[in-house]
Each structure stands twice: as structure tokens, then as C-alpha cells.
Amino acid sequence: MKIATWNINGVKARIANLVQWLESSAPDIVCLQEIKSVDEGFPRLEIEALGYHVETHGQKGFNGVALLSKIKPDEINRGLPGDDTDEQARFIEGVFSVAGGVVRVASLYLPNGNPPEDPVKYPYKLAWMERLKVFAESRLALEEPLILAGDYNVIPEPHDCRDPKQWETDALFLPATRAAFRRLENLGLTDAVRATSDDPLLYSFWDYQAGAWQKNNGIRIDHLMLSPEANDRLLCASIEKHVRSWEKPSDHVPVTATFDFA
């Protein structure tokens, strides 16, 4: 089973690329972020025509997450628990039947947090990460395969960016951000890409500005975090870098992991 995450950066603007990628890569479950669409505006017909079920948690103009799956989900949960006042559409979880049980897959779009000195944005990022930690603890207690996939807006380590000095004061790389990410790992979650490769030049995002793509000045901020039960079944993981070279691309590329749930 191939499970992927992709910050699509506007699903309507990127629908041709999404369809092309679904046809060529043939993932079984896809976690999308930044769909920038309300639920009723999502181009589901084009995706359903390829044999996918579509579940969205949308928001007008920005944010928004979705799950696309060849398997019909048994259960869908929208919104990250822990703050009833949070109206931003950043989290959707699906439960899918597989051989011998279920797999839980969540698509998440973690807040950017910039500028760090903003009295609201960075505290919101850290609070969201703490809520995610509490959620992960509750799901890990079920001892089921769990995949928390998405745009984490976190550069975990210096080798996850081309130029660490460029990011020293950025909310994606601040010590408090990286410490919060480590707390997720310390629960027992494993980064799928780093579990299968120690290549220092693995990036999932290249800015549209300053020739970042042409210079390979990228960062790795899109992650699939796995419970022990999912990690035990992990076969391989990869970053589909070539998608960034397509016409009218997202500034992110798909990250995929393949599992044996037989």
C-alpha cells in the first residue's frame, strides 16, 4: 500500500498536476494540504473518475486538508481535538480496513508560525504541536498502524535544509519548534524518509523566489510520522522531486511511503 502526502498549494490551480501525478504514481491513500477550497468547491469529480474516494475539511481561500483513497474509509474525523475555538481547517483523519485490522491515516497542515515575534502566530504553532502530541499519545495507545502525514512546517535537523544559517531565525527551524517535533518522535513516532535514507540532500519544498529550485536550495518539511505498528510494515519511502519541474507546480512535492499490510 502506497501512502503519500502533498501540499498542493491550491487544488483548483493544481488539478491538472494532481491528476497527472495520481495516474503516474498510483498511490492508494493521499493526504493533501493547503487545498484552499471549501468542501463544495473541491474538484472531486476529476479525482473520483480515477477511482478515488474524496474526503475534505476545507476552508475558503487558505488552509484546508483532504484524504483521497482507493479504499472507502470506515470513519472520518475532522479537526484536531484540544481547542474548540480553533476554526482553521488543518486536520483530517481516516480509518481504513486492511488485512488483519485497520490503519489510521491523518492529513495535517501544521501552522507556519512566522514571524516568530508575532504575539499570535508562533504561540499558535507551538500550541498546535502540543495538541498534536496529545492526539498522537491517544492514538498510539490503540497499538494500531498510525500515519500522521503532512506539511509539518518543521525543518527537523540542519541536514534537512541546504543552508541552515538562512533559517536560524525562522519559525520552521527555531529551537522550540524542533524540540516540539522531537517530543513527537520521543513518543515512538518514526520519520519514514529518515528511516529509509540518510541522504543529506532530500528536500520537499523549494520556494518560488530567488531561483531556489534551480539552485536546489530546498528544505524538508513534509513528513510521514509512523507509529511502531506502521513502521514495522514500512518497505520504502521517497520524495518525488521531479514533480517540482512540472508546469505550474506547487512549491512542495509529494512524499510517499510504501507498506505491507498483508
| Catalytic-labelled residue, pool 151, 160, 170, 222 | 151
Q: What is the DSSP letter of 111?
A: -
The amino acid that residue 15 corresponds to is I
User: Which of 67, 65, 88 lies closest to 76 in space, CA to CA?
Assistant: 67
Q: How many CA atoms lie within 13 A of 116 on its CB side?
A: 11
Q: Is residue 7 a known part of a binding site? A: yes
Q: How far apart are CA 85 and CA 54, in angstroms?
A: 26
Q: How far apart are CA 75 and CA 97, in angstroms?
A: 10
Q: Is residue 153 a known part of a binding site? A: yes
Is the bond leading into 115 cis (omega within 30 degrees of zero)?
A: yes
Assess whether 242 carries a catalytic annotation.
no
Q: Is residue 151 a known part of a binding site? A: yes
Q: How far apart are CA 213 and CA 57, in angstroms?
A: 30
Q: Contact at 8 Å (CB) between 39 and 59?
A: no
Q: Enumerate residues 6+ apart whose C-beta is below 8 A from 205.
A: 7, 218, 219, 220, 221, 222, 251, 252, 253
Assess whether 191 carries a catalytic annotation.
no
| Catalytic-labelled residue, pool 109, 122, 152, 203 | 109
Assess whether 207 carries a catalytic annotation.
no
Q: Is residue 252 a known part of a binding site? A: yes
Q: Which residues are catalytic?
A: 109, 151, 252
Which residues define the annotated binding site for Mg(2+)? Answer: 7, 34, 151, 153, 251-252
Which residues define the annotated binding site? Answer: 7, 34, 151, 153, 251-252
